Amino acid sequence: MQINTKNLVSISEANQNFSKVARLVDENGAAIILKNNTPRYVLIEFSQFQKEEIIGDEEVETIAKRILSRHQTAFEELAK
C-alpha cells in the first residue's frame, strides 16, 4: 500500500473530527492515523476490507494446494 501524505491524520485530529477522516477515506480510499508521528492505524472502506479478506483466503488455498501436491506421498503415508 502506498501512503499519500494527504491521507495522514494525527490521532488527536481523528478523535476531534472523525467526519473529516471519514471523508478522506471516501475520497482517497484510506486514511493513516498517526500516533506520536508514527503510522499506527489504517482506516479503509468496509468493502475494501472484504476484498482483502477474500484475496487472503484465495492465497491460503493456493498455498495449501501447492503444499499438498508437493508432499502428496508423505501425506498418503501418514494417512495409513
Rounded Cα distance, 47 and 26, in Å: 11
**pLDDT given at position 77:** 73
Residues 29 and 59 in one domain: no
The pTM of the full predicted model, rounded to 2 decimals, is 0.59
The domain in which residue 63 lies consists of 46-80
Can you state the percent helix, strand and coil of the chain, rounding each to 5?
A: 65, 20, 15
> Per-residue pLDDT tens for 44-74?
888 887 777 666 666 777 777 777 788 777 7
Residues 18 and 56 in one domain: no
Rounded Cα distance, 9 and 16, in Å: 11
Residues 24 and 4 in one domain: yes
Widest Cα–Cα separation across the chain: 62
What is the number of structural domains in the chain? 2
Asked if the model's pLDDT at residue 3 lies above 90, the reply is no
Dihedral of CA 50/52/31/43: which sign? positive
